[in-house]
Amino acid sequence: MTEGDDAAEATEASPNPVHLDLLDRLERALPGAVVEHGTACGELVVRVTNASWGPLAEVARGDLECDYLSFVSAIDWAPTPRDGGEDAGGDTSAPVQPTDMTFGVAGSAGRFQVFARVQSTARGWGATFKVDVDEATPLVASWVGVYPGADWHERETWEMFGVRFDGHPNLRQLYLPAGFEGHPLRKDFPLLARVVKPWPGLVDVEAMPEEAAAVTAGGDGAGDGAGGGE
Amino acid sequence: MNAVALTTLGIEIGWGAALAIKTLVILLIIPAGALILGYVFLLKMMSHMQSRLGPMDPGGFHGWFQLIGDGLKFVQKEDLMPDGADRKVFAGAPAVVLISTFLVFLVIPMGPDLVVKDLDIGVFYALAVSSLSVIGILMAGWSSANKYALLGGLRAAGQLIAYELPLLLAVIGVVIQAGTMSLNGIVVAQQQQSIFGIDWIGNPYILTQFVGFLIFLIAAQAELTQTPFDMPVAESELVGGYHVEYTGFRFLFFFMGEYGTAFAFSAIAATLFLGGYALPWVEGDLANWIGPLVLFAKLMLVAFLMFWARFTFPRLREDQLQAFAWKFLIPLGLANLLVTALFKVAF
Amino acid sequence: MSTTEMPSAPDFELERSAMRHLADAQMNVELDTGDMILNLGPQHPATHGTLRLVVRLDGERVIAADPVIGYMHRGYEKLTEFRTYPQITTLINRIDWLSSFANEVPFVHAAEQLMGIEAPARAQYIRTILTELSRIATFVLFLGEMGLQVGALTPAFYGFRDREHVLNLIEGATGGRFHPNFNRIGGLKDDLPWGWVSETRQVMQLVLDSCDQFEDLVVGNEIFLSRTRGIGIIPGDIGTAYGVSGSNLRASGVDWDLRRDGVPYLAYPDLDFKVWTHSAGDSFARYWVRLQETRESVRMVLQLLDGLPAGPVMAKVPRIIKVPEGEAWVETENPLGQMGYYVVSKGATGPFRVKIRSASFSNVSILPWLLRGVYVPDVVTILASLYFILGDIDR
């Protein structure tokens, strides 16, 4: 949302004293790590440099007192492709997203961003950290050493987005069968169900029995609007 | 029925016919007993205790058809055998379990003359053959080529061996008091003895051997692999344990073995501690006629206790079970034995 | 400390030769018994569905346990990118299917925050009531289910029986026993039906009675205590580092409940309730905490019924819901633990990305650490006491 290079602007952007305190502690422990910060509906979002992601875990657990790891995941900022198969003429049921690449709170340098959320059970605060990863060789430090719970989250992120975690002891498939090709949550990975068949709720491809004969005789393919829609 | 009993009706039969009749009776008692226990306790009592609706529904009145339906279901099921199974052993295991149950009934008296074979060492014989079933269970666990079955079989072996001892100690107390090992003799002793001179109900050993009765019940529960000692089966961990690979008729054999053995152990407990077939003031031919009914009533009472515990308690862990047997039951049994022996010598 | 080095598909051939080698080496030292690899699941009664645990056993002692998940992965995070906001509540109903209503709340809340809408007070109250009813339904089942896993059959039936009363209530209000899909962005589909409030009061009394019954039947049982006390201890700091949340974490002495400590949501700020904790961190503590929380939820529902405000249940919402650009993180205290949605919107009718943070996923990720060195029967009680739903793990 806003540039947060110096403290003065940060004050303006996030008047929440807890956020200021957290940013202050972060700046003291890891000088120059914060690239940008903002708020997502009142929650602090901090974007850090790729190099400081590894040490950030220790700082978060120590200096920020965030003992609780909520999740680690990633975002692919690439625009949603209009898929749905060539024959279907584009899947019209899926929500129309902007076609240009825009970034969310605290910005991003490129397509892939890893984000994680840590919280403090004692103090009640929490923060979401984002880090840019390179599109060609997505790599970021692993948090497993500090937050052992990051193990599964990072495995999931790796298999879904292809982001590798440096120092993860055991980066293998979590959900998908071993040897699965592709990274399903990347935007360019098609939702195969939609490719095979357009959303049936919208494009009712099945004609009513009495009309089926007429459609076959007419040879007009699947009737659009034929049959009882909703 | 026993040849002697038939003689009282004025019918003379040869030993061959008598043997045939005895065999038939024994062969009928076990399935009948298993069915009765299964029906009364497994289906009706449990359904009431657990607010179950299903088993109370089929056939209308109290779900009387449920057991028949279950039986039909078992018979219809496909007889599966795992690929890796040791086929002969796998097929033989249920029979071994069932045979051990049948053999127990040879010595249980149902009336003064209604006993297949009144062995002098009846008690020993009953306990010995009842523990043969562990061989069948081990066979089943080993031959199934299934890790759960193997774990279950091994657990069963460890458990049954551990609980033979308290079972025996509990029984020895009774044997000391009765002065005989014949089951019939024990019944007669209970009818004729007195407790400190009070003799109007005889001396059912549950009164003087109450500790022994408790030990016997607990150990029998373990022998029967019923909750809280059902680790060999352990549905929630071993998904059925040693009989996990058995289906249809073969499983029915195990099922009948389980309930038949429960029936047998209830009968032994009723005989040893509750006076068996005998009622006070009932003697002679009348005892032969109502004896089976009396024994049945008493064994149902014991079985009720067993199944009540079964449907109430959680399951112990294997090591806790062993600790319970070796550190508590066996010392208690020994102490009970000592006290019994002292009383026997003193009075 | 965090992971096992075991492959997901155990190589039995390699295993055998390695063992033979080991046996040769130790032949004169001791009798080597070797390990056995046991597959608990994917179809196993203790795993509530399709969790698979590859357990390496020495006798009955677990040397290493490796949970294999994904048998029920439905790809909800991907699917949400192809659905509109109102359609998504149907999907997320199926994450934790025992407390479906509670799943909807944080997502709808996130969308409302991004749109700047606030549901009317009555809707907030009804949402809170239904969330707590979901919690009661989930926990009552747990209270019985745990008995079943420890080997007592009877409590399980009581659990199902008593849950049915609560499910009837949820069905009465929403029309669905399991998947209400009752939340709308900006409020609720409908108001409560006539007579529902008094009915609820009666059922709450039933639930309190059944809690007493569970206390007698299960907590009061020596065998249950000996099976659960000191088994599966999660220290508080380990639990938080693994992201274990909800009752599991409170049973480890961490006094953290998002209903009280998180960003205020629903009607919880208006309620007077106690957050129960237990210092032991073992299986018994988890059972005990859930038992107390069931009672606490009953008290909360009764308070909510007393304070139920009048008014509409739906705010003014545009006919076609378009959520402005932005990001929102909303977390709630669900029956199984912290449930959160990180919603990224680009101003369309559907979200750009939704990260679903489900409780069971993190709760189960501690298993490799927790199961090391326990016995097979304890594996079952630990799994039962962690109380996970497969849909909540795999999403």
Q: Quick: pLDDT tens for A77-127.
A: 888 766 544 444 445 566 777 777 778 787 777 888 899 999 888 888 888
Q: Which residue has the tokens 């408790």?
A: B214
Place of tokens 């409590």: C155
CA-based end-to-end distance of chain B: 39
Q: Do chains A and B touch (3 or more CB pairs under 8 A)?
A: no
Digit-coded pLDDT (tens) for B221-252: 888 888 788 877 877 777 778 888 888 888 88
| pLDDT for res A217 | 56
Confidence of residue A229 (pLDDT cuts 50, 70, 90): very low
- Tokens standing for A188? 């360019």
Q: What number of CA atoms fall less than 13 Å from residue C257's CA on the CB side?
A: 19
Among B49, B227, B235, select the one facing C45 at the smallest CB separation.
B235
Give the count of beta carbons closer than 10 Å to the beta carbon of residue C275: 16
Contact C82/A160, CB-based, under 8 Å?
no
* Mean pLDDT, residues B126-132: 85
3-class state of residue A70 by DSSP: strand
What pLDDT is attached to residue A137? 85
Tell me, yes or no, if B320 comes closer than 8 A to chain C by beta carbon.
Answer: yes
Nearest CB to A67; choose among C5, C240, C327: C240
| Structure tokens that stand for B159 in this block | 């458990």
Determine the Cα–Cα distance for residues C348 and C185; give it in Å rounded to an integer: 15
B227 touches chain C (CB under 8 A): yes
Number of alpha carbons in the 13 Å side-chain half-sphere of residue B15: 1
Q: Which residues fall within 8 angstroms of residue B71, CB to CB, at 6 or more apart?
A: B252
ipTM, interface predicted TM-score of the complex: 0.81
Task: Let me know how long chain A is.
Answer: 230
The answer to whether C106 and C332 are in contact (CB under 8 A) is yes
User: C189: pLDDT confidence band, cut at 50, 70 and 90?
Assistant: confident
Residue B307: which H helix or E strand, with range?
A: helix B285-312
**Residues B248, B271: Cα–Cα separation, whole Å:** 34
Sheet holding C337-345, edge to edge: C326-334, C337-345, C353-357
Indicate the range of B9-13, B221-225, C168-172, C230-234 predicted with least confidence: B9-13
Cα end-to-end distance, chain C, whole Å: 26
Name chain B's partners: 3 or more CB pairs within 8 A: C
CA distance B226 to B313: 10
Q: CA torsion angle for C191, C195, C198, C199 (degrees, to 10)?
A: -100
For residue A123, the chain C residue with the least C-alpha distance is C261
User: What are the pLDDT digits (tens) for A147-200?
Assistant: 888 889 998 899 888 888 888 888 888 888 877 888 888 888 877 776 776 665
At residue B180, the pLDDT reads: 84
In whole angstroms, what is the distance from residue B310 CA to residue B325 CA? 18
d(CA B318, CA B238): 13
Q: Do the bridges between strand C187-188 and strand A139-141 make them parallel or antiparallel, or are there none, so unpaired?
A: unpaired
Going by their DSSP bridges, the two strands C61-68 and C52-58 should be labelled as antiparallel
8 Å CB contact between C250 and C261: no
Two structure tokens written together for A53 = 């992601």
Chain-chain contact of C151 with B51 (C-beta, under 8 angstroms): no
For residue B242, give the nearest of B310, B316, B325, B160 by alpha carbon. Answer: B160
Give the Cα-Cα-Cα angle C300, C304, C307 (nearest 5 degrees): 140
Which amino acid appears at position C259 of this protein? R
The Cα–Cα gap between C277 and C311 comes to 36
CB distance A4 to A10 below 8 Å: yes
Mean pLDDT along residues C67-82:
85
Q: How many CB atoms lie within 10 A of CB C191?
A: 16
| pLDDT > 80? residue A211 | no
Confidence class for position C298, pLDDT limits 50, 70, 90: very high
Write the residue in C60, C148, C223 that is nearest to B313 by C-beta.
Answer: C223
Q: How far is C207 from chain A (nearest CA, A)?
A: 30
DSSP summary character for residue B219: H
CA distance C9 to chain A (A): 9
CB contact under 8 A, A67 and C349: no
Ramachandran angles phi, psi of B339, nearest 5°: -60, -45
Average pLDDT over residues B118-146: 85
Contact C243 A175 (CB under 8 A): no
CB neighbours of residue B23 within 10 Å: 13
> Which subunits sit against C, judged by 3+ Cβ pairs under 8 A?
A, B
CB-closest option in B148, B235, B314 to C227: B314
CB-CB under 8 Å, C346 with A102:
yes
d(CA A172, CA A153): 11
Q: What are phi and psi of B97, to 5 degrees?
A: -60, -45
Distance between CA atoms of residues A36 and A41, nearest Å = 16
Joined together, the tokens standing for residue C68 give: 């294999």
DSSP assignment of B108-155 equals: --SSSS--S---TTHHHHHHHHHTTHHHHHHHHHHHTT-HHHHHHHHH
DSSP class of residue A68? E
Which are the contacts of A159, defined by CB distance < 8 A and separation ≥ 6? A173, A174, A175, A176, A180, A183, A184
The CA-based diameter of chain B, rounded to the nearest angstrom, is 66
What tokens were used for A129? 């950290």
| C347 Rama sector, left if φ>0, alpha if ψ -120 to 50, beta otherwise | left
> What's the angle, vertex CA B64, arms to CA B62 and CA B68, rounded to 5?
150
Q: How far is Cα B20 from Cα B26, in angstroms, rounded to an integer?
A: 10
Q: What token pair was written down for A206? A: 């099945």
- CB contact (8 A) between residue C151 and residue B234: yes
Interaxial angle between packed helices B66-76 and B248-273, expressed in degrees from 0 to 180 and rounded to the nearest 10: 130
Q: Tens digits of per-residue pLDDT, B35-62? A: 777 777 777 788 888 888 877 777 777 7
Instruction: Print the domain residue range for C281.
Output: 76-364
Domain with CATH 3.30.460.80 in chain A: 7-186
pLDDT of residue A9: 42
- The confidence score (pLDDT) of residue C15 equals 52
**CB B164, CB B332: distance < 8 Å:** no
Q: Is the peptide bond before A177 cis (omega within 30 degrees of 0)?
A: no
Residue B195: strand, helix, or coil? strand
Q: pTM to 2 decimals? A: 0.82
Q: List residues bridging with C36 in a β-sheet.
A: C57
Looking at the partner chain, which of B147, B313, B316 has a beta carbon nearest the beta carbon of C38? B147
Instruction: Note whether C394 contacts A: Cβ–Cβ < 8 A.
Output: yes
Q: Does residue C44 fall inside a structural domain?
A: no
Q: How far apart are CA C108 and CA C93, in angstroms?
A: 12
What ranges make up the beta strands (E) of chain B?
A: none
* Per-domain residue ranges of chain B: 81-346
Query: Domain containing C204 — which CATH number?
Result: 1.10.645.10
Q: In this structure, are residues A148 and A197 in contact, taking their beta carbons and an 8 Å threshold?
A: no
- Please, which contacts does C30-37 make with residues 24 or more away whose CB atoms are closer than 8 Å? C33/C58, C33/C59, C35/C63, C36/B147, C37/C10, C37/C12
Tell me: pLDDT of C312 over 70.
yes
A89 vs A96: CA distance, rounded Å? 14
Yes or no, beta carbons of A70 and C243 under 8 Å apart: yes
Distance CA A118, CA C136 (A): 29
Phi, psi of C302, rounded to the nearest 5 degrees: -65, -40
Indicate whether C39 belongs to any domain.
no
Exposure string for B95-111, b = 16+ CB within 10 A, e = fewer: ebbbbbbbbbbbbbbbb
Return the closest-CA partner of residue C102 out of C302, C214, C268: C268
When the candidates are 3.40.640.10, 3.40.605.10, 1.10.540.10, 3.30.460.80, the CATH number that belongs to A7-186 is 3.30.460.80
For residues C79, A147, A132, A94, the Cα torsion angle rounded to the nearest 10 degrees is 10
pLDDT at A214: 60
Residue % of chain C over a pLDDT of 70 = 91
Q: Do A168 and A147 contact (CB within 8 A), yes or no? A: no
Give the CA distances from residue A160 to residues A34, A74, A189, in Å, rounded to whole numbers and listed in that order.
26, 9, 10
Domain count, chain C: 1
Band (B1; pLDDT cuts 50, 70, 90): very low
Work out the number of other CB atoms within 10 angstroms of the CB of residue B86: 16
* Chain C residues inside the 8 Å CB shell of A128: 329, 342
- Of B50, B148, B231, nearest to C157 by CB-CB distance is B50
Tokens of B112: 């003064």
